[in-house]
Amino acid sequence: MSFCEEIEIEGYETFQTKIKEWEADKSKHPLFILFTGSNGSDGQSWCPDCVQFEGMWETLKKSFTPSEGSLIRVKVGSRDYWKDKNCPFRTDKKTGLSSVPTLVQWGSPKRLSDDAIQNPENVQMLMEDE
């Protein structure tokens, strides 16, 4: 999978806007969403698992088979915001997040998080298995 569009956004409201745009699009190409911790003042995510995943992700993206699809990188906010039990990324039934990083194919049950997302073979299967 290579992406016809790859964007990075921050926050729940912006995420909701992008999802509505995608749902209104008649072509409905595959949409992948990578939820990660936001960057701190040092430019790195507060989430060590996200930092670890990022290096693997950049390498993996180069090996995907060309295809149509979009990727939205969603920064979920500061550590304190994310850890709040009422964080909308956690409480929204459509996102249902319990950890970051999490990679999903929107509109499908395909999802990787926790230890599974750190395995390059799992990520490749999620991205290429249409």
**Is 4 one of the catalytic residues?**
no
**Is 47 one of the catalytic residues?**
yes
Q: Would you say 60 and 66 are in contact if contact means Cβ atoms under 8 Å apart?
A: no
Q: How far is CA 6 from CA 34, 45, 111, in A?
A: 11, 19, 18
Catalytic residue among 33, 50, 76, 97: 50
Catalytic residue among 1, 47, 74, 104: 47
Looking at residue 66, the DSSP 8-state letter turns out to be: P
> 59: helix, coil or strand?
helix
Lay out the sheet containing 111-112: strands in order across.
Answer: 5-10, 70-75, 31-36, 102-105, 111-112
Query: Which residues does the annotation mark as catalytic?
Result: 47, 50
